């Protein structure tokens, strides 16, 4: 995303208030509020529902399944004023409605630079050339003859959270942390492909190029390419979706999503970086001094509470589970702490297995709300390198407010006495 513009556009939002929203989704239908404030639903419906009496559709009804009609609100959303056109823009994963660590393919965020290419795999070629012993073109059939690997990694846009540098701006976990997804990727390690074509001694950099109309290109150091990068053709058990680079994309674990070049058509091996538009004009981080950081590849440790959140208000007093995600581009998540008082006091939240390096990790922390007090919910991740997720104040002190990318600061959700939750920043 461009992300430069941080104001403007749409008029005042009419976000449904907590209780109105719950009523609208039918959760309060036939319910009652007890003396302790816990909302109780009606015990057993009086009528036998239709689905218990009549036949449902048969097995021929849905050759490729879609979620229940009651989950129709679980969709990618975008922020229209962010970019000049929908073809060069981004949409956001609905983190607030997802579970576990795997992002379903249908709601995995997309960032396109010239729209979504739709490529016939029969005519697609992957060209490898430059400082290699043999310049070669692979068909999809060629690629499928190599031994693949299956690896679970998150991918995150460098601009995730980019609208929050100056202050709390977008009221939702989807819009503030949703340029994020995690999948099991199946593909061929770059090391396998480079062993096959042979690298020349001066091979130090790799240029990856997409086959869409932006022909997006990024320079990647060969050390990283040979370490854990792969050419993926499948995501979560099925061939990549067009929006994720079908038929092949690069997987660059722990590094910014822009480098995971989609619709991959060319890998050139060289001895120095290319300084493409996407590693100079964009995806460099401007500091208050006027100097900019370049080659800001790693997505540093980050975490967020997905529920409660602005999209997931509270419904009366009682027990809740604080649900959240943590991740680190440097490796494994070691620990997640949660605060309910804006960072005065913290408790460590248990991590749910599996805890996979450079993948999303899930945490669940039981919490009890009295139904009347305000709370300030925060999560803070510490990764295996000892890196501690910073506050927005720490990040601003180090980098000012114009760097756009890599805002991995602690998010704060204000729980209001009504049960409504909103995105705020605290000092």
Partner 1 sequence: MSRSLKLLPLALAVLALPALADPNLPKKGELGTTLKPEEVARWDIDVRPDGQGLPPGKGTAREGEQVWMEQCASCHGEFGEGVDRWPVLMGGKGSLATDAPVKTPGSYWPYASTVWDYIYRAMPFGNAQSLTHDQVYALTAYILNMDDVIPADFVLDAKTLPTVKMPNADGFVVDPRPEMKAADPCMKNCKAEVTITGHARKIGVTPEEQAPMQ
What is d(CA 20, CA 291) in angstroms, rounded to the nearest whole number? Answer: 48
Report, in Å, the least distance between residue 381 CB and partner 1.
10
Q: Which is nearer to partner 1, 290 or 319 (CB)?
A: 290
What is d(CA 331, CA 341) in angstroms, rounded to the nearest whole number? Answer: 29
Q: Which is nearer to partner 1, 182 or 421 (CB)?
A: 421
What is d(CA 395, CA 205) in angstroms, rounded to the nearest whole number? Answer: 30
The answer for residues whose C-beta is within 8 angstroms of residue 171's C-beta and 6 or more apart is 13, 15, 310, 422, 423
Report, in Å, the least distance between residue 25 CB and partner 1.
6
Report, in Å, the least distance between residue 233 CB and partner 1.
15
Question: Taking Cα atoms as reference points, which of 7, 413, 416, 359 lies closest to residue 183?
Answer: 359
Report, in Å, the least distance between residue 240 CB and partner 1.
21
Question: Taking Cα atoms as reference points, which of 14, 20, 13, 12 lies closest to residue 313?
Answer: 20
Q: Which is nearer to partner 1, 38 or 78 (CB)?
A: 78
Using the 8-state DSSP alphabet, how is residue 165 labeled? S
Question: Taking Cα atoms as reference points, which of 306, 293, 265, 5 lies closest to residue 128?
Answer: 265
Report, in Å, the least distance between residue 31 CB and partner 1.
17
Q: Which is nearer to partner 1, 320 or 387 (CB)?
A: 387
Q: Which is nearer to partner 1, 37 or 104 (CB)?
A: 104
List, in sequence order, every beta strand (DSSP E) within 84-148.
89-90, 111-112, 126-130, 136-138
Q: Which is nearer to partner 1, 341 or 352 (CB)?
A: 341
The DSSP bridge partners found for residue 219 are 207
- Torsion region of 139: left, alpha or beta (phi above 0 gives left; psi -120 to 50 gives alpha): beta
Q: Which is nearer to partner 1, 227 or 238 (CB)?
A: 227
Q: Which is nearer to partner 1, 275 or 364 (CB)?
A: 275
- The upper half-sphere exposure of residue 170, i.e. CA atoms within 13 Å in the direction of its Cβ, equals 25
Contact call for residues 405 and 158 (beta carbons, < 8 A): yes
Report, in Å, the least distance between residue 207 CB and partner 1.
6
Q: Which is nearer to partner 1, 96 or 235 (CB)?
A: 96
My answer on whether omega of the bond before 181 falls inside 30° of 0, hence cis, is no
Per DSSP bridges, beta strands 264-270 and 249-251 are: unpaired
Q: Which is nearer to partner 1, 235 or 328 (CB)?
A: 328
Report, in Å, the least distance between residue 204 CB and partner 1.
13
What is d(CA 187, CA 143) in angstroms, rounded to the nearest whole number? Answer: 9
Report, in Å, the least distance between residue 129 CB and partner 1.
5
Using the 8-state DSSP alphabet, how is residue 235 labeled? E
Report, in Å, the least distance between residue 216 CB and partner 1.
8
Q: Measured in whole angstroms, how far is the alpha carbon of residue 78 from the centre of its chain?
A: 13
Report, in angstroms and rounded to the nearest whole number, the Rg of the chain calculated over CA atoms.
23
Report, in Å, the least distance between residue 36 CB and partner 1.
28
């Amino acid at each position: 995303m461009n992300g430069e513009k941080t104001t403007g556009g749409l008029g005042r939002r009419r976000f449904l208030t907590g209780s109105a929203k719950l009523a609208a989704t039918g959760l309060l239908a036939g319910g009652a509020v007890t003396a302790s404030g816990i909302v109780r639903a009606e015990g057993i419906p009086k009528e036998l529902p239709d689905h218990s009496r009549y036949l449902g559709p048969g097995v021929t009804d849905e050759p490729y399944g879609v979620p229940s009609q009651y989950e129709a609100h679980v969709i990618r959303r975008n922020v229209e004023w962010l970019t000049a056109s929908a073809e060069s823009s981004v949409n956001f994963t609905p983190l607030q409605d997802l579970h576990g660590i795997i992002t379903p393919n249908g709601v995995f965020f997309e960032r396109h630079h010239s729209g979504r290419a739709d490529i016939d795999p029969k005519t697609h070629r992957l060209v490898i050339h430059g400082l290699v012993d043999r310049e070669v073109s692979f068909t999809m059939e060629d690629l499928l003859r190599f031994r693949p690997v299956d690896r679970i990694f998150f991918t995150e846009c460098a601009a995730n959270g980019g609208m929050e540098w100056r202050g709390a701006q977008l009221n939702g976990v989807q819009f503030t942390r949703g340029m994020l997804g995690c999948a099991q990727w199946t593909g061929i390690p770059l090391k396998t492909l480079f062993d096959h074509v042979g690298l020349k001694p001066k091979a130090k950099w790799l240029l990856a190029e997409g086959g869409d109309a932006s022909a997006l290109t990024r320079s990647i150091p060969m050390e990283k390419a040979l370490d854990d990068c792969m050419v993926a053709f499948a995501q979560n058990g099925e061939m990549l979706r067009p929006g994720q680079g079908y038929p092949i994309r690069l997987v660059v674990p722990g590094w910014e999503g822009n480098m995971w070049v989609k619709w991959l058509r060319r890998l050139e091996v060289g001895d120095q970086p290319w300084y493409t538009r996407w590693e100079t004009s964009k995806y460099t981080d401007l500091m208050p001094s006027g100097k900019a950081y370049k080659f800001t590849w790693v997505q540093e440790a980050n975490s967020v509470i997905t529920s409660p959140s602005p999209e997931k208000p509270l419904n009366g007093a009682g027990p809740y589970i604080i649900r959240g995600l943590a991740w680190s581009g440097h490796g494994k998540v070691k620990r997640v702490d949660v605060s309910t008082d804006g960072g005065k006091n913290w408790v460590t939240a248990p991590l749910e297995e599996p805890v996979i390096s450079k993948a999303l990790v899930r945490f669940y922390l039981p919490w009890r709300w009295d139904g009347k007090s305000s709370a300030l919910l925060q999560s803070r991740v510490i990764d295996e390198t000892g890196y501690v997720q910073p506050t927005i104040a720490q990040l601003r002190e180090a980098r000012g407010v114009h760097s756009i990318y890599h805002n991995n600061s602690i998010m704060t959700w204000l729980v209001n006495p009504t049960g409504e939750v909103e995105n705020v920043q605290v000092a």
